[in-house]
């Protein structure tokens, strides 16, 4: 048998909502339990209150399951019969059920309605208010207005009053807000970062005017260094104007947002667009890549005179690297020039050196390493770390020093006196010539003047002139052997010639020979940041893939963007969106802020400004620069 059940509810405008369902079976349960065919969510109704059964073609019987009665046609009872031809009305708590026969299907039809209480007596009132606090509380409208007024007082009127009472004090020099809680602190959206934690409770240090966005002038009160400028001014065009042009003119909704922002003192390029505050204790969060790409993606169309390549994502759209290589190893200050990276790029560092020979695992160099296990810790061949040593920070490698790395194998000893070796001085050609001439002045068919008493002479200019005169006579007497020794050192097969570029353009003090200066470049990418400390788990050859095959010291072994050892081998951009087309074993998400600093100085992007040396660059500059003397040695 099929029972039709229609749950009827009223909207606020009086229209009915009917939810119809069919219940199959010979019995139909009525009760508060959700499993009942007619579910009545009413505390006055038992979980399973009554059961309806078919008694004939046009008759139904209804009977209470427990002792709780119900109403049938206005009379309280626990059992009754219903004639479907005549219909009936059942009452269970606050619900009324009209029973009839459906005109289309002929099935018993039960129309269930929720009715209001008939009186204010405890028995007749809505049970939802009898057993809850609903009847004791004010209405919804009164509650809404009350809470709205409380919010305005607590979070607007009281904070404004607190701000206005302090504002006159803030006009005094070195004014400091009294310690403690202040009502306008409820406006704070979060805790300050570690960099600004000393300003806790002193909101006016940054928020100078009420209801006015933080201006750059407030930031520059403390951050006075010149590095807080992304690009330099140009004749007839300020840095702010150039940044605005790089972003382009927004249109549509973005243009409307720009106009509204300008109305509320929020011009583009503000400090707080990058340096977001109130994000919690710790360092300020890294800037999202979109902040950079708003300008750098397609910038050449908006700034045709720029020399910077367009960049949108490191993994998919980034210009080739431009390392700063040595083009002239001048003795005073070697000259650097930024050029586009290519696999065959070379630089003039002034050395003759082969990585292939020194890293070989089968030649004489490897045999030397095997024979000296105490010095090389049982290695089978030289490793990169045997010569290249990281600096104190672990970020870069120190310039290789001959006395520490090379002299172990390439000795400069030329004499032995009672078990002590005399060595030529590295890096001082004139001193090498002088030492060799002095060494050979005491040999030959005629003895040189006796110089044994020089140590007893009186100090001063006269003594120095006398020593020089005696030395000059000795060299004139015996020039042949000295000249041969000097030539042997500075020509093929000699101590200097095999590692350095030697020419015949020297002076008499250097025996007519000149040794080209050596320029060791310790940082190739000056507009990006790279740290060896973050790559200690990788072998050197993972990135410097040409080292084992390089036969020329001028080969540039630093990796580029792509290819073997290239940075994209691991670094896949901010979200790695191009991973579907390439194979990356251990992908590293790499946003712009990982390598680039907005303020373009000489430190890592994440390090505090007061911890690193400021070195302002103009990002568009392509002119050569000079390498520091310390790195050239």
Phi, psi of 447 (to 5 degrees): -75, 140
Higher pLDDT, 155 or 479: 155
CB 156 within 8 A of CB 211: no
Is the pLDDT score of 118 beyond 50?
no
What tokens were used for 155? 């979070």
Burial class of residue 368, CB neighbours in 10 A (0-12, 13-18, 19+):
middle
DSSP state of 194: G
Phi/psi-derived region of residue 156, left when phi > 0, alpha when psi is between -120 and 50, beta in every other case? alpha
Residues 6+ apart with CB under 8 A from 548: 355, 356, 359, 541
Place of tokens 């100085």: 601
> What's the pLDDT band for 90 if we cut at 50, 70, 90?
very high
Query: Mean pLDDT highest for which of 249-253, 289-293, 468-472, 502-506?
Result: 502-506
Rg of the chain over all Cα atoms, to the nearest angstrom: 45
If pLDDT is split at 50, 70 and 90, which confidence band does 174 have? low
How many angstroms separate the CA atoms of 558 and 347, rounded?
11
> Is the pLDDT score of 128 beyond 60?
no
Phi–psi pair at 632, nearest 5 degrees? -80, -20
Per-residue pLDDT, 169: 56
What confidence tier does 451 reach under pLDDT thresholds 50, 70, 90?
A: very low
Residue 405 CA to residue 353 CA, distance in Å, equals 13
Q: Where are the alpha helices (DSSP H) in 320-401?
A: 355-359, 364-370, 373-376
**What integer is the mean pLDDT of 438-467?**
46
Residue ranges, comma separated, of all CATH 2.60.200.20 domains in the chain are 2-130
pLDDT value at residue 124: 47
Residue-wise burial string across 154-163, b where 16 or more C-beta atoms lie within 10 A, e elsewhere: eeeeebeebb
pLDDT tens, position by position, 535-565: 988 899 999 999 999 999 999 999 999 888 8
Place of tokens 């038992």: 46
- DSSP per position, 541-597: HHH-TTGGG---TTB--S--SSSTT-GGGTB--SS-TTTTTS--SS-B---GGGT--
What's the CA gap between 121 and 230, in Å, rounded?
78
Average pLDDT estimate for 265-272: 77
User: Please, what sign has the CA dihedral across residues 170, 172, 175, 178?
Assistant: negative
pLDDT digits (tens, 9 = 90+) for 335-359: 889 999 999 999 998 898 899 999 9
Helices H / strands E in the chain, number of each? 16, 19
Contact yes or no for 515/502 (Cβ under 8 A): yes
Task: State yes or no: pLDDT of 460 exceeds 50.
Answer: no
pLDDT for 149 equals 95
* pLDDT tens-digit readout, 620-633: 334 566 665 444 44
Structure tokens at 85: 């031809």
* Average pLDDT, integer, range 329-338: 84
Whether residue 103 is predicted with pLDDT greater than 70 in this model: the reply is yes
C-alpha 391, offset from chain centre: 24
Rounded Cα distance between 393 and 380, Å, is: 29
List the one residue out of 383, 329, 346 whose CA is nearest residue 631.
Answer: 329
Region 128-145: what's the mean pLDDT? Answer: 75
Summarised one tens digit per residue, pLDDT across range 74-84 is 999 999 999 98
Task: Give the chain's largest Cα–Cα span.
Answer: 154
If one compares 49 and 448, the residue with the highest pLDDT of the two is 49
Residue 368 φ then ψ, to 5°: -65, -40
Q: What percent of the chain has pLDDT over 90?
A: 28
pLDDT tens across 23-46, in order? Answer: 998 899 999 999 999 999 988 899
- The pLDDT of residue 450 is 36
Q: Write down the pLDDT at residue 416.
A: 84
Answer yes or no: are the C-beta atoms of 399 and 405 closer than 8 Å: no
SS3 19: strand
When pLDDT is averaged across residues 167-186 and rounded to a whole number, the result is 66
- State the average pLDDT over residues 201-222: 80
> Per-residue pLDDT tens for 585-614?
778 888 888 888 776 555 555 554 445 443
**pLDDT value at residue 168:** 59
For 344, phi then psi, to 5°, come to -105, 20
Confidence band of 448 (pLDDT split at 50, 70, 90): very low
The answer on pLDDT for 123 being more than 70 is: no
The two beta strands, 335-338 and 324-328, are antiparallel
Structure token pair of residue 151: 């919010």
Q: What angle do CA 50, 54, 57 make, to 5 degrees?
A: 150
Question: How much is the pLDDT for 454?
Answer: 30
Question: Residue 228: phi, psi to the nearest 5?
Answer: -80, 55
Is the CB of residue 430 less than 8 Å from the CB of residue 496?
A: no
What is the C-alpha to C-alpha distance for residues 163 and 18, in angstroms, rounded to an integer?
57
Taking a C-beta distance cutoff of 8 angstroms, is the pair 216, 206 a contact?
no
pLDDT in tens, 390-407: 988 888 899 999 988 888
For the chain, report the end-to-end CA distance as a whole number of angstroms.
102
pLDDT in tens, 508-539: 899 999 999 999 888 898 888 888 988 988 89
Work out the average pLDDT over 289-306.
87
| Separation between Cα atoms, residue 487 and residue 618, nearest integer Å | 48
pLDDT of residue 81: 93
> What is the arithmetic mean of pLDDT over 115-142?
62
Domain covering 2-130 in this structure, CATH number: 2.60.200.20
pLDDT at 466: 44
252/97 Cα distance (integer angstroms): 59
The count of other CB atoms within 10 Å of the CB of residue 588 is 15
Burial 290-322 (b: 16+ CB within 10 A, else e): ebbbebbeebeeebeebebeebbbbbebbeebb
- Residue 16, pLDDT > 80, answer yes
- The predicted structure's pLDDT at residue 105: 87
Which of 120-129, 151-160, 410-419, 589-598 is predicted with the least confidence, judged by mean pLDDT?
A: 120-129
pLDDT at position 620:
36
Q: Rounded mean pLDDT of 563-572? A: 88
pLDDT, position 479: 57
Say how far apart CA 546 and CA 350 lie, in whole Å: 20
Mean per-residue pLDDT over the chain, rounded: 80
Is it the case that residue 68 has pLDDT exceeding 80?
Answer: yes
Q: With beta carbons less than 8 A apart as the criterion, state whether 45 and 91 touch.
A: no
Q: Quick one: what percent of the chain has pLDDT higher than 70?
A: 80
């Amino acid at each position: 048998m099929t029972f039709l059940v229609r749950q009827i509810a009223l909207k606020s405008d009086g229209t009915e909502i009917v939810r119809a369902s069919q219940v199959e079976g010979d019995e139909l349960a009525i009760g508060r339990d959700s499993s009942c065919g007619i579910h009545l969510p009413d505390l006055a109704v038992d979980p399973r209150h009554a059961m309806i059964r078919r008694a004939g073609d046009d008759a139904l019987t209804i009977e209470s399951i427990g002792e709780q009665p119900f109403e049938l046609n206005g009379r309280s009872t626990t059992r009754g019969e219903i004639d479907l031809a005549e219909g009936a009305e059942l009452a269970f708590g606050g619900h009324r059920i009209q029973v009839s026969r459906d005109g289309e299907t002929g099935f018993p039809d039960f129309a269930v309605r929720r009715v209001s209480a008939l009186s204010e007596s405890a028995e007749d009132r809505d049970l939802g208010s009898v057993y809850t606090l609903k009847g004791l509380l004010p209405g919804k409208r009164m509650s809404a207005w009350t809470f709205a007024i409380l919010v305005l007082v607590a979070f607007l009127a009281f904070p404004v009053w607190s701000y206005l009472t302090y504002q006159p004090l803030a006009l005094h020099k070195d004014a400091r807000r009294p310690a403690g809680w202040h009502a306008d602190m409820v406006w704070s959206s979060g805790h300050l970062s570690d960099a600004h934690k000393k300003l806790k409770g002193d909101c006016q240090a940054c928020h100078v005017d009420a209801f006015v966005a933080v201006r750059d002038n407030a930031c520059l009160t403390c951050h006075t260094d010149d590095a807080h400028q992304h690009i330099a001014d140009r004749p007839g065009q300020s840095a702010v104007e150039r940044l605005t042009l790089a972003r382009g003119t927004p249109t549509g909704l973005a243009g409307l947002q720009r106009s509204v922002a300008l109305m509320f003192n929020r011009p583009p390029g503000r400090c707080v667009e990058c340096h977001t505050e109130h994000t919690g204790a710790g360092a300020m969060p890294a800037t999202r890549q979109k902040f950079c790409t708003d300008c750098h993606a397609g910038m050449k169309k908006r700034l045709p005179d720029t020399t910077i390549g367009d960049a949108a994502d490191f993994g998919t759209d980034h210009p080739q690297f431009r390392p700063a290589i040595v083009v002239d190893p001048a003795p005073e200050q070697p000259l650097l020039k930024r050029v586009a990276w290519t696999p065959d790029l070379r630089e003039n560092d002034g050395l003759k050196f082969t990585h292939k020979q020194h890293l070989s695992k089968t030649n004489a160099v490897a045999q030397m390493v095997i024979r000296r296990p105490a010095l090389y810790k049982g290695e089978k061949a030289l490793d990169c770390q045997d010569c290249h040593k990281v600096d104190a920070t672990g970020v870069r490698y120190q310039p290789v020093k001959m006395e520490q790395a090379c002299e172990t194998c390439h000795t400069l000893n030329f004499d032995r006196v009672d078990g002590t070796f005399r060595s030529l001085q590295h890096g001082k050609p004139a001193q090498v010539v002088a030492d060799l001439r002095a060494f050979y002045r005491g040999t030959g068919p005629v003895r040189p003047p006796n110089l044994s008493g020089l140590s007893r002479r009186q100090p001063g200019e006269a003594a120095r002139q006398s020593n020089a005169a005696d030395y000059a006579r000795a060299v004139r007497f015996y020039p042949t052997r000295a000249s041969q020794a000097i030539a042997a050192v500075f020509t093929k097969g000699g101590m200097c010639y095999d590692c350095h570029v030697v020419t015949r353009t020297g002076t008499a003090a250097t025996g007519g020979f000149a040794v080209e200066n050596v320029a060791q470049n310790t940082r190739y990418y000056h507009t990006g940041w790279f740290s060896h400390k973050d790559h200690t788990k990788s072998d050197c050859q993972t990135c410097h893939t040409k080292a084992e095959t390089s036969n020329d010291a001028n080969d540039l072994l630093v990796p580029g963007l792509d290819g073997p050892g290239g940075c994209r081998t691991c670094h896949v951009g901010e979200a790695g969106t191009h991973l579907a087309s390439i194979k990356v074993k251990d992908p590293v998400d790499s946003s712009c802020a990982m390598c680039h600093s907005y303020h373009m100085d000489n430190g890592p992007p994440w390090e505090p400004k007061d911890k690193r040396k400021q070195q302002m660059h103009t990002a568009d500059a392509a002119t050569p620069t000079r390498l520091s003397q310390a790195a050239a040695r």
